[in-house]
Structure 1
Amino acid sequence: MQINVLGIDLGKNVCSVVGLDEKGQVVIRRRVRRGTLVQFVEKLSPCTIGMEACCGAHHLGRQFVALGHTVRLMPPEYVKGYIKAQKNDDRDAEGIAEAATRPTMRFVTLKSEDQLDIQSLHRTRDRLVGERTALINQLRAVLFERGLIIPKGRTKLDRWLREELPNAPGLSERMHKLIADLRAELQQLDTRIKGYEREFAEMSRSDERMSSLLSIPGVGVINATAIGAAIGDGSAFQKARDFAAWLGLVPRQVTTGGKPRLVGITKRGSTYLRVSLIHGARAALLGLAKSDTHLGGWIRALLAQAKRNVVVVALANKLARIVWAVAKSGRRFDARLVAA
């Protein structure tokens, strides 16, 4: 029995496995526990293994590659069209195996262990930032319930807590203790977040590719490490536009009255990277607009005919393309060489 393509559904602790021969006929159906999946695959002759790009897929993919197999990871939404009616785990595995054979299928590049480590650090920091924002909002709400309105902004909140809180009217002793507890918790979150950011700064200085990304306006240590871990040397994308489209920064086209027109961006792909690039573009917009370069002239022309937020997203699209070019070439960014 020769298996050419093996489809694996990784959804649960017990994985469904379907093998196809060279004619595309199903020759094997199995249920294998995740813990023994590598031992099962080890007994097979080298073949193509298709899996959805989900949690644990990259780790298993690296192990399968070490055993001599060809691994193809696919976005789950692209596999959905190949799954037959009466959906179950076996049909999912069969659809994954069939999708892995399609010449037009878009595959996900296997990530290394270092890339996954950096990605995990970014996700943890992002969760802590969300917890910090929720804690600040709760602290402001506690004070607002007592008639104490704090101006917006973290700096103004810290100044008020430091200067005005001791003499604030309408706060009981218990509320003073509660606010002290919230402030202590807020300081702990700040310390942990700054620790991750220092680690990102060290990574960006020690890695040559990430260091070259820092030369791009609007790309700091957060963007450089996150993007560097996501795309590596950029070889997963053939063109700069492919990377911008992967981030969802390209406009959607709709047809109205028989005429096509462009509307908002697609917002596909990694939300974290897209939002980080947009924030970076917003921070770099004014400085670039004042520069005497082709990029500065392009921004000034856009500002004259479009709203500021639209220009920010357009600049984020431009920065995404520049990021890909820098990652692909390994050279540092020079604004004088950017064409309008």
Structure 2
Amino acid sequence: MNTQTYSCIGIDIGKTNFHVIGLGADGAVSVRSKHHRGGVVAALVKLDAQCFAMEACGGAHDLARRLRGLGREVRLLVPADVRAFVRTQKNDYNDAQAIAEAALRPTVRTVPIKSVEQQDVQLLHRARQRLVRQRTALINQIRAMLLEAGLTAGKGRKVLRRALPILLEDPGNDLSARRRALLASWREEWQSIEKTIAQLESELHNEARNDPRCARLMTIPGVGVLIATALVAAIGDASEFRHGRDLAAWLGLVPRQHSTGGRARLLSISKQGNTYLRWLFVHGARSAREHLDRSQHEWGPWLDELEQRLHPNKATVALANKLARIAWAVLRHGVVYREIDPRQKGLSSSASG
């Protein structure tokens, strides 16, 4: 067994092969090796290192859990931060060395290691998202085929669902036998997709019902089962974020900067971070804007003033930013959202036990 102590071990994760670089106490490369997926854990535990570092990706969490279970310290790094440490040409060993060097810098951001349960919930969301896209594509194809036959249905998925049986049974329309048979098969496919989506959503509802963190998040206006379960699966208790604005920035809901010479210039939102979560928060904010009773809720005057000076879409994003910050407070401090009496002036949204 190698008795040398390494300051950090950088691991470049691949589909089959893993490239490893070990840095000694002086920062020089002391070990350079390549391992197959089946034997990488056994090879890594033989190395006496202060920490093991990897870029955060889908396959990193499983390996990180295995190493941590064996008593090793593991750091998952943000890939964008590692890129600056890659020297000369890009290859697997240079990537592993860049990971090891970046892990030794205190300013490089880390990603919390996800549990199996968190990844399972994320899989439910991804499966549902894929099916929703398939359903939308199928509905658009049905509408296009009907339009070619001179037939139209009103806006909305529910309207089309009610109209399909009538169109199929109407012998007086211009649908040919082939189109009628194809439309019937598409209708069955649509029903199958809807059934699977309902099953996935039922699992997400059960997850939200059994997780107290999700229950606390759903006390926030505009936050439902999808946002609550997706956010908990992505960030857990939000301990990696020091402030609510850090979470909003991670979601890409803050202005992008292009400042120089002491002159600050703010552009449109950065759209960095988790695209799916940002999409959910924006839709949650849009729902809150449309359905919130502004005469009774503390956000009413703020929203009214916001919409007077901003485009509705910008107001929606501003509210999504607000929701993200409140969600951070709810998760970080283990509290529930508390609505403030609108008659109390000078107070903003808060979370309280």
Aligned residues: 340
Deviations 1:239-288 (A, max 9, x none): 00000001000111235998433221100000100000110110111333
Structure 2 residue runs without a partner (length 5+): 342-346
Change (3 A) 1:12 1:6: same
In the alignment, the residues of structure 2 paired with residue 307 and residue 55 of structure 1 have an alpha-carbon distance, to the nearest angstrom, of 37
For 1:296, the equivalent position in structure 2 comes to 300
Q: 1:339 aligns with which of 325, 337, 348?
A: 348
8 Å contact 2:167–2:173 — kept in the other structure? no
Letter in 2 for 1:219: V
- Structure 2 residue 269 is matched with structure 1 residue 260: no
Moved more, 273-282 or 147-156: 147-156
Alpha-carbon RMSD: 1.7
Letter in 2 for 1:214: M
- Structure 2 residue 276 is matched with structure 1 residue 272: yes
What TM-score does the superposition give when structure 1 sets the normalisation length? 0.96
Deviations 1:39-77 (A, max 9, x none): 001212242111011121001001111122111111222
For 1:171, the equivalent position in structure 2 comes to 175
In the alignment, the residues of structure 1 paired with residue 173 and residue 166 of structure 2 have an alpha-carbon distance, to the nearest angstrom, of 13
Letter in 2 for 1:282: R
- Structure 2 residue 245 is matched with structure 1 residue 241: yes
In the alignment, the residues of structure 1 paired with residue 18 and residue 263 of structure 2 have an alpha-carbon distance, to the nearest angstrom, of 48
In the alignment, the residues of structure 1 paired with residue 209 and residue 124 of structure 2 have an alpha-carbon distance, to the nearest angstrom, of 17
Q: Secondary structure at the match of 2:119?
A: helix
Deviations 1:218-237 (A, max 9, x none): 11111111011112111111
In the alignment, the residues of structure 1 paired with residue 176 and residue 247 of structure 2 have an alpha-carbon distance, to the nearest angstrom, of 55
Q: 1:323 aligns with which of 323, 327, 330?
A: 327
Moved more, 159-168 or 80-89: 159-168
In the alignment, the residues of structure 2 paired with residue 269 and residue 291 of structure 1 have an alpha-carbon distance, to the nearest angstrom, of 35
Shift of 1:208: 0.8
Deviations 1:270-325 (A, max 9, x none): 01000001101101113336143432221111011111111111000000001111
In the alignment, the residues of structure 2 paired with residue 25 and residue 296 of structure 1 have an alpha-carbon distance, to the nearest angstrom, of 60
- Structure 2 residue 17 is matched with structure 1 residue 17: no
Structure 1 residue runs without a partner (length 5+): none
Moved more, 155-164 or 253-262: 253-262
8 Å contact 1:289–1:299 — kept in the other structure? no
- Structure 2 residue 109 is matched with structure 1 residue 106: yes
In the alignment, the residues of structure 1 paired with residue 66 and residue 15 of structure 2 have an alpha-carbon distance, to the nearest angstrom, of 19
Letter in 2 for 1:5: C
8 Å contact 2:251–2:274 — kept in the other structure? yes
Mapping of 1:1-340 within 5 angstroms?
Answer: 1-167=4-170, 169-255=173-259, 259-288=263-292, 290-336=294-340, 339=348
8 Å contact 2:247–2:324 — kept in the other structure? yes
What TM-score does the superposition give when structure 2 sets the normalisation length? 0.92
